[in-house]
Amino acid sequence: MSDIVLSFKAVTAKPMNKSKKSTSFGGITGNLAIVLGTQLLSGALVMGGATAAMELGRVSVPLVLILILQGVGAAWLGLRMGLSRFWGAVQFILPMAVYVGLRLPIPSWVYLALFVATGLVFWNAAGERVPLYLTNKTTWKVLARFIADKPGTRFIDLGCGLGGLIIHLARNCPQSRISGIESAPIPFIISWFRKYFSGLNNLVLEYGNYWVKDLSGYDVVYCFLSPVPMTALFDKARAEMKPGSLFISNSFPVVEIAPDQTFEVEDSRNTHLYVWRI
For residue 198, how many other CB atoms are within 10 A of its CB? 14
CATH classification at residue 209: 3.40.50.150
**Containing domain of residue 118, as a range?**
28-127
E strand map for 42-107: none
Q: Are 122 and 28 in contact (CB under 8 A)?
A: yes
Residues composing the chain = 278
Q: What is the pLDDT of residues 229-270, one digit of tens each?
A: 899 999 999 999 999 999 999 999 998 899 999 999 988 778
C-alpha 210: how far from chain center = 16
Q: Same domain for 85 and 161?
A: no
Same domain, 198 and 261: yes
Report the C-alpha gap between 187 and 57 in whole angstroms: 53
The reply to whether 19 falls in a domain is no
Residues 144 and 251 in one domain: yes
In tens, the pLDDT along 174-209 reads 999 999 999 888 889 999 999 999 999 999 999 999
Of the residues 107, 127, 147, the one at which a domain ends: 127
Asked if residue 246 belongs to a domain, the reply is: yes
How far is Cα 153 from Cα 155, in angstroms, rounded to an integer? Answer: 6
In the chain, the number of structural domains is 2
Q: Are residues 117 and 163 in the same domain?
A: no
Identify whether 20 is part of a domain: no
**Residue among 221, 92, 211 nearest 154 (CA):** 221
- pLDDT of 91 over the 50 cut: yes
Asked which of 94, 127, 160 is the last residue of a domain, the reply is: 127
Give the model confidence (pLDDT) of 15-59 as tens digits: 343 333 333 344 556 677 888 888 899 889 988 888 888 877 777
Of the residues 102, 127, 152, which one is the last residue of a structural domain? 127
Given a cut of 80, whether residue 106 has pLDDT beyond it is: no
pLDDT at 181: 96
